[in-house]
Amino acid sequence: MGTLHELHDAGQSVWLDFIRRDMLASGELAGMVEDGIRGLTSNPTIFQKAIGGSDSYDAAIRDALSLDPVSTPLAVYEGLAVADIQDAADTLRGVYESSAAHDGYVSLEVSPYLAADTDGTIEEAHRLWNLVARPNLMIKVPATPEGIPAIEELIAAGINVNATLMFSLADYEAVAYAFVRGIRRAADPQRIASVASFFVSRVDNDTDAALDKIGTEEALALRGRTAVANAKLAYERYLQIFEGPEFAGQLERGAQTQRVLWASTSTKNPAYSDVLYVEPLVGPRTVNTMPPATIEAYLDHGTADGSALVAGTDRAHEDIAALGELGIDFPAITAQLQTDGVQAFADSFSELLATVEDKMRALG
């Protein structure tokens, strides 16, 4: 049986990709922190399921309506989310302090409706940062073309950023260099933290479909390998950018590197291992944000090899190159994944607001 502490010993921090009010109130999250959870991420889909799938928020919704009977679903949702994020940040504050601000973060996303609005994203991020008022908050910003300059501006302003929805090496490089530019401009970089959330399992989903259409033995042999290969190449660029001479001057100023965070790590294809996107991606100075089921799978039968992430890099290059040789436009697949991801989060946000509105009607 593995433990989350073994992953940390191997250089990787595990963050929980889940939040719900009852786990905060019951002390469940505090227990998970003791067991090795070192951060938490949220998104509109998680909040939609949490609010709509339980009665944990009903009392708070009633309280909000008693204070303001004409409150909007957006205002009620924001009150619920901010309270949860603050409680989670307080629970993780000890990790934040003991790790010298490297871990202990809780992520809150800017409105997905702003994914194509640079100025709107910057304004919203500042508002949420001030509203939550916790030093271990990370503001999630999508790595869209409009999100990249927002990431730079927020880092320069001293706001922690979780750059999200990255599927390609081009996405990763754009985010990494936005962070570098922002840190160079920051007056005091020592307690500014950022992660680059690189999505994994969804890459296999779409690439496997293209390989299935080709159907040759060579194509089918690549199924289930592209996502890990793609992630290994992103980590290779991390090492080149942040652990070479390019970033050395910022390290001397006390800056942290922007760690790669593996996102979308639950296995979607039941034919694959349920720790496929955990075991091969263990490596120094990385984060893996896992939903509860993936954590349980790892604890049951996962292993932690700190050299796994740097092993097989040549093979990873070969696997990605083989896609092009087969006629698969991998950059087009990853670009579409980001477009679809932005839309999916916007749709989830709309569903979330509709769920809150339904609850308001039922409880008002």
Enumerate the active-site residues. Answer: 140
Which of 225, 160, 168 has its CA nearest to residue 189? 160
Give tens-digit pLDDT for 219-244. Answer: 999 999 999 999 999 999 999 999 99
Using a 10 angstrom Cβ sphere, with 0-12 exposed, 13-18 middle and 19 or more buried, the burial of residue 120 is: middle
Contact predicate 278/294, CB 8 Å: yes
Continuous H helices in 103-257: 118-132, 147-156, 169-185, 201-214, 217-220, 226-242, 245-252
Task: Give me the chain's average pLDDT, please.
Answer: 96
Residue 1 predicted with pLDDT over 80: no
pLDDT at 2: 67
How many Å apart are CA 320 and CA 48, to the nearest integer? 36
Which of 277, 289, 257 has its CA nearest to residue 189? 257
Give tens-digit pLDDT for 34-74. Answer: 999 999 999 999 999 999 999 999 999 999 999 999 999 99
- CB burial of 301-325 (b: ≥16 within 10 Å; e: otherwise) equals ebebeeebbeebeeebeebbebbee
> Could you tell me the pTM of the whole model?
0.96
CATH code of the domain occupying 4-363: 3.20.20.70
**82, two tokens:** 């901010």
Nearest-5° Cα angle at 17, 165 to 225:
60
Residue 363's contacts (CB-CB under 8 Å, 6 or more residues apart) are 58, 61, 62, 65
pLDDT at 248: 96
Work out the pLDDT band at 95, boundaries 50, 70, 90.
very high
